[in-house]
Amino acid sequence: MSYSLGLYRFSDGELTRPDMDVVRAVLSPVRAGPEKVSDGATEYWIRAADGSEAEVGVFGHFISVESPQSGDVWKIVVELTDQLGAGILIPDGTFLCREDMRAHLPGGMENDSFFAPAITLEALERTAGPFRDPLT
């Protein structure tokens, strides 16, 4: 079964585009293959030092993280999210984000969000609930 996450950033209730300079700064050192650009998306295959991998796609207003393996690749996902000032949409519908994003969320989204002082691996593991297996 495939596991995927979405990374999103909001400003004044609207989605904002990911900062590609930040994306490249975080992902380039861990890139396991060439950066691919097609159909308006930029795709990365990343590998952490422990060998764990994930596919990352940067689209117009969000970033998709597909099939992250158990291991240190999760630290890269957390770092990318934090550096972008983004939040993580967990497959169960919960949105993990920093407390300072609360005022920028679209109406009603606050009810399905978990707010943390910072995006950390611990906060992600605590928020992911039944989806913890891929994180351990």
- What is the pairing mode between strands 14-15 and 10-11? antiparallel
Look at residue 34 and tell me whether its pLDDT is greater than 90. Answer: no
Q: Is the per-residue pLDDT at 109 higher than 90? A: yes
User: Is the whole-model pTM more than 0.85?
Assistant: yes
Q: Which residue has the higher pLDDT, 135 or 8?
A: 8
Q: What is the pLDDT of residues 48-98, one digit of tens each?
A: 999 999 999 999 999 999 989 888 999 999 999 999 999 999 988 999 999
pLDDT score for 35: 84
- Whose tokens are 């920093």? That residue is 98
Q: With a cut of 80, say whether residue 7 has pLDDT above it.
A: yes
Pairwise CA distance, residues 43 & 48, whole Å: 16
Cβ burial of 28 (10 Å; 0-12, 13-18, 19+) is: exposed
Contacts for 34-40 with beta carbons within 8 Å, 24 or more apart? none
What structural domains and CATH numbers belong to the chain? 4-127 (3.30.310)
- pLDDT at residue 39 above 90? no
Give me the mean pLDDT over the 107-132 stretch. 84
